[in-house]
Structure formats: C-alpha cells, structure tokens
Amino acid sequence: MAAKERKGLPPGNLTQDSERPGRIICAAVNGAISRGFVVGREVLVGSIPGIVVGYNIASFGPFVGNAFPLVVRTALGVTKCSMDEVSLA
C-alpha cells in the first residue's frame, strides 16, 4: 500500500516555494508595531482585555506569523492574534 501524495498546505500556511518567508513575517510584525501594538501595550481581543507579550515569528503550522503576528496574554490564556481581532485599549 502506497502512501497518499500530499498536495497543498492547510489554510494560513506560507507556500513551500516562498524564498524568504521571514520577510513576509517581518513585514507583518513591523506593521503591527507601527500601528501601536508594542510589547506591554494593553489591548482588547474582541471584548476580552489582554497585554501584548510578543510577536509570532512562526513560518509553519496553523498560526503563521504573517497572518497572526501578535502574541497576547489574556485571563483565558496566551493566544496568537491577527490585526483584525485586536484593538488598542
């Protein structure tokens, strides 16, 4: 029995032929910083208060840094967030 050939990537992943995924992630993180989402800043994830604790630099997996550049700590735990999910408090 032969293994199935895997085609494509799950949603949110960078393409395998990206020559420099770090540049894409760096641009997303710099965009977040320029919009005021710096480490220590109080934010709202929806209606839940939190604090920016870092930046997501992952280039693989379901939560890659270009789509989810912020790492936020809330009372519910730590999460990776997109810019659409977070607002300044």
The span from the CA of 28 to the CA of 25, in Å, is: 5
* pTM summary value: 0.76
The span from the CA of 70 to the CA of 32, in Å, is: 8
**pLDDT one-digit tens code per residue, 28-67:** 999 999 999 999 999 999 999 999 999 999 988 999 999 9
Structural domains for the chain: 38-88 (2.30.30)
Asked if residues 87 and 48 have their Cβ atoms less than 8 Å apart, the reply is no
